[in-house]
Amino acid sequence: MTRSAIQSRSAWPAIAARTALALLGGYAFTYAFTAALARLLPLDPVDAVTAASLLSFVVYLLFMLWAFASASLRRVLVAVGIAIPLAIVGFWPQLMEVLG
């Protein structure tokens, strides 16, 4: 695995895409997830912020592991796309303000 990864230059774009999706896409997903979780947790805002933020590292970790384990890149891309509805949930009041 290691050797083939070094030697087959054609593998590099796929690896780079997956790494970028895992790192950056994963962070975007985690960011939106954390915001949505803090919004939805039935707790005081302070406690919800603390709980959601402390959990965010687990979310990011699992997302990255899954992004590398997943068979197809497209599935990872779809998962990153879920960040959009999550962000809408998390930043609902701010969104309402902007829209009108």
Partner 1 sequence: MKGSLTQSMSWLHTWCGLLLGWMLFAIFLTGTLAVFDKEINWWMQPELSDQALSPAAAANVAQRWLAERHPDETNWNISLPTARAPDLAVSVGERRRGGGGVTHLDPLSGATVEPRETIGGNFFFHFHYTLHLPRTLGVWVVGFAAMAMLVALISGIIIHKKIFKEFFTFRPAKGQRSWLDAHNASAVLLLPFHLMITYTGLAIFFLLYMPAAVNALYDGDRQAYFRDAQSGRAAEQAPRGEGRGSKAVSAPAAPLLPLSEIVGRAEAHYGQGMIGSLAVSNPGRANAQVTARPVLGNRIELSKGEGMVFDGVSGKLIQAPEPSRTSQLTQRVMAGLHFAQFGGYPMRWLYFICGLISCAMIGTGLVLYAVKQRKQAKANAQFLRVVESLNVAVVAGLLLACITLLWANRLLPAELAARQNWELRLFFGVWALSWLHAWLRKPLSAWREQLLAAALLALALPALDLWSAQDTLDVMRLSLLASVASMGLLLGWTVWKIPTVIAARNARSARLDRPAAGASS
Window 10-39: residues binding partner 1 (CB under 8 A): 11, 14-15, 18, 30-39
CB of 78 to partner 1, least distance (A): 18
For the record, the structure tokens of 20 come out as: 């970028």
Alpha carbon distance 29, 25 (integer Å): 6
Q: Tell me the three state secondary structure of residue 100.
A: coil
Cβ-based nearer residue to partner 1, 71 or 100: 71
Given 21, 25, 52, 76, the residue binding partner 1 (CB under 8 A): 52
Cβ-based nearer residue to partner 1, 93 or 100: 93
CB of 6 to partner 1, least distance (A): 6
Alpha-carbon distances of 34 from 15, 48, 99, rounded to whole Å: 27, 10, 23
